[in-house]
Amino acid sequence: MVALSSVGDRRDVQRTKQALKIAFQLVPGPNQRPAEEFGVWDSQRRLAIGSFVIGKDGVVRFAHTPRTGDADRPRVSDILKVLQELK
């Protein structure tokens, strides 16, 4: 699993990873373009929130973008189901 951060540099990403106790790779992105392409960039707040599972073939297998605010997150069980199917 890899998470892409659309803001900040490697130090910011490392601090975030440590603070949130993230066990997967968190990569600083060059800019917000990937988030714009996935349709999750919020230009007013200058952030992006979305969860995606992309297969090795580059096909998006799961996508969730919040509709009701930051607390609108996908269920872990939904993501795990998709990941299991990709094995």
Q: Give the start-to-end residue ranges of the domains of the chain.
A: 2-86
Structure tokens at 58: 């580059």
Asked if residue 54 lies in contact with residue 60, where contact means CB atoms within 8 angstroms, the answer is yes
- Residue 50: phi, psi to the nearest 5? -175, 155
Asked if residue 6 lies in contact with residue 38, where contact means CB atoms within 8 angstroms, the answer is no
% helix, strand, coil for the chain, step of 5: 30, 25, 45
pLDDT number for residue 15 = 83
pLDDT number for residue 81 = 92
Regions in the chain scoring below 50 on pLDDT: none
Structure tokens at 10: 């490697």
